Amino acid sequence: MLNYQHRDLDRVFAALCDPTRRAILARLEREETLSIKALAAPFAIKLPAVMKHLDVLGAAGLVTRSKHGRTVDVRLSPERLREAADWLRRYERFWSPALDRLAAQAEAKEAELRQSEASEDQSEPPDA
């Protein structure tokens, strides 16, 4: 459960901490494939700045680019996002079953204690 590629994860987390890059990912999530020009259109930044963001996203493995004639298509690549989410979720995977067992253990002990309390009550003489 500990064997994660931390350097890759660092890149993913670093790539995600910019609002423009998150907006780019969100659009790609909705529209699957977009040309760089179409991607850049809603942002108040110039094309070269968008290209830079795409470089960061590409280096983190979050998007892929492919050239078709004169346009470059950008596509979301969810595998790295999955790894990042898994990294965080491994703690959930640890805690969730552990707490289930803790609850079962405590509840068994509670039942045991109640039973012995009940039998103690019964064994007491009625007018003690």
Partner 1 sequence: MTSITLVRRIAARQSIVFEALTTADGVAGWWGVDDLPVVVAEVDARVGGAFRICFPTLDGEEHEACGEYLELIAPSRLVMSWRWVRGGVPEELDGTSRIEMELKPVDGGVELTVTHADLRNDASRINHEHGWSASLARLSRLLGASSNAQISI
For residue 70, the minimal CB distance to partner 1 (Å) is: 30
Question: Considering only CA atoms, which of 16, 2, 4 is closest in space to residue 60?
Answer: 16
For residue 34, the minimal CB distance to partner 1 (Å) is: 16
Is residue 118 within the footprint of partner 1 (CB under 8 A)? no
Task: Fill in the per-residue mask, 42 to 81: x = in contact with partner 1 (CB under 8 A), - = not in contact.
Answer: ------------------------------------x--x
Instruction: With beta carbons less than 8 A apart as the criterion, state whether 61 and 77 touch.
Output: yes
For residue 66, the minimal CB distance to partner 1 (Å) is: 21
Q: What whole-number distance in Å separates Cα of residue 88 and Cα of residue 70?
A: 40
**Integer distance in angstroms from the first to the last C-alpha of the chain?**
59
Exposed e or buried b for every residue in 6-25, given b needs 16+ CB within 10 A? eeebebbeebbeeeebeebb
Rank residues 42 and 125 by Cβ distance to partner 1 and give the closer one.
42
**Residues at the contact surface with partner 1, assessed by CB under 8 A:** 1-2, 6, 10, 13-14, 16-19, 22, 25-26, 29, 78, 81-82, 84-85, 88-89, 91-107, 109-110, 113
